[in-house]
Structure 1
Amino acid sequence: MAIPNSAINSARPPVHQSNKALSGPQWAQRFPGSKSTRDLSGTFRHAVEDFIQAMTDAGIKVTVEATYRPIKRSYLMHWGWRIVNDRVDADSVPAIDGLDIEWQHRMPAESLHAAKGMVDAFAMRRLRTRPALRSQHNLGLAIDMSLTWRGTVSVKDANGKTVQINTTPRTGMNRQLIEIGATYGVKKYAGSGRDAPHWSNNGR
């Protein structure tokens, strides 16, 4: 007995019709962000550069990971991470003007695989904190930097006072260093302690 064409068609996975480009790791090359303090805004740039100089002079290793980030890059990072980690349905991701990306592939497993590729391409595989959809990075008012040192270091604050840091951790989460940064107008992220690299003009 022949099987009706309608039955065959209904058994096939739906193919999403779209003129948009499918998601995947190639999107990480678009809308590039910056790691240069030159791309920070106004007085915040000078505050950051002065703070970094004070830390470097004290023997702290400073590695800048991100400064300015375009809104569209934040959008890609946010939703790619959420599809992978929060299991957000790819078809439910809201669109953004001027960005023709199709998150939903032919099969859900393909959508998830593409999002995982984006997470890897954005170097977010080990990131436990959801990337912000909007942040001070979009305004040039935030910086992500990795900070490490050994033993005790002496750092000058913005008032010229030398502060001896002999406490742990020897990272950007050190409370003494956070207080020094605040004198420059560079404030540590006030949220989860899992986002150690993030500093901004207002702590957000």
Structure 2
Amino acid sequence: MGSSSTRDLAGTFRHAVEDYIYAMTDAGIDVSIDATYRPVKRSYLMHWSWRIVNDGLDASRIPTLAGVDIEWEHPTKAESIKSASDMVAALSIRRLRTRPALRSQHNFGLAIDMAISWNGTVFVKDARGTLVRIDTMPRTGMNRQLIAVAASDGVKKDYGGNKDVPLWSNNGR
């Protein structure tokens, strides 16, 4: 299992994220945390199951990972795909638009996945305590003004565009 608690984030990044989330919620922005810390074994399962389902990867080509007892290859290709599809659903990554990383900042407690939304214009405090008027679209975590506020706190938006919309980290990856 992974975590969706900011308590499982590392050091100063944890404090930066908590400050940023506080500033957003104080401004009336809805924030829903999906994931913070992710064990390497979970990343492995996410990566390879998604690849079988979405990239058509041959299950027999998947390398093993110590401590993960799984048979990717089944008697037929259809059965391998069905089992991988079941895992993709169980791991809640069916709608993910990009291949999950084998290793990511999540493995070090340096990333967070959040759904962010609001209505109308909001005023969010940046790290210096300055109120920033956010009145542009979209009203999601992809808003450029909100991304700038986050950067002032040391929380950087994934720079992969719309592929990994909920991802924020210490380095934008």
1:81 aligns with 2:50: yes
In the comparison of the two structures, how many residue pairs are matched? 173
Give the Cα–Cα distance (whole angstroms) in 2 for the partners of residues 194 and 156 of structure 1.
Answer: 27
Q: Helix, strand or coil for the counterpart of 2:113?
A: strand
Instruction: Name the residue aligned to 1:164.
Output: 133
Instruction: Name the residue aligned to 2:168.
Output: 199
Give the Cα–Cα distance (whole angstroms) in 2 for the partners of residues 68 and 123 of structure 1.
Answer: 15
Q: Helix, strand or coil for the counterpart of 1:102?
A: coil
Give the Cα–Cα distance (whole angstroms) in 2 for the partners of residues 194 and 93 of structure 1.
Answer: 24
**110, 119, 123: which is aligned to 1:150?**
119
Deviation track 1:99-148 (CA, whole Å, cap 9, x = no partner) reads: 12110011111111100100111112221111111100000000000000
Instruction: Name the residue aligned to 1:59.
Output: 28
Give the Cα–Cα distance (whole angstroms) in 2 for the partners of residues 161 and 83 of structure 1.
Answer: 47
1:96 aligns with 2:65: yes
1:46 aligns with 2:15: yes
Instruction: Name the residue aligned to 2:94.
Output: 125
How far is 1:192 from its partner?
3.0
Q: CA RMSD in A?
A: 0.7
Give the Cα–Cα distance (whole angstroms) in 2 for the partners of residues 169 and 192 of structure 1.
Answer: 13
Q: Helix, strand or coil for the counterpart of 1:62?
A: strand
Instruction: Name the residue aligned to 1:187.
Output: 156
Give the Cα–Cα distance (whole angstroms) in 2 for the partners of residues 66 and 162 of structure 1.
Answer: 28
How far is 1:74 from its partner?
0.3
Give the Cα–Cα distance (whole angstroms) in 2 for the partners of residues 97 and 191 of structure 1.
Answer: 30
Q: Helix, strand or coil for the counterpart of 2:161?
A: coil
Give the Cα–Cα distance (whole angstroms) in 2 for the partners of residues 192 and 119 of structure 1.
Answer: 22
So what's the TM-score if we normalise by structure 2? 0.98
Give the Cα–Cα distance (whole angstroms) in 2 for the partners of residues 144 and 135 of structure 1.
Answer: 12
Percent sequence identity is: 67
Instruction: Name the residue aligned to 2:147.
Output: 178
Moved more, 132-141 or 93-102: 93-102
Structure 2: give runs of 5+ residues left out of the alignment.
none
How far is 1:68 from its partner?
0.1
Q: Helix, strand or coil for the counterpart of 1:69?
A: coil
Deviation track 1:74-94 (CA, whole Å, cap 9, x = no partner) reads: 000000000000000000011
Q: Which runs of 4+ in 1 moved over 4 A?
A: none
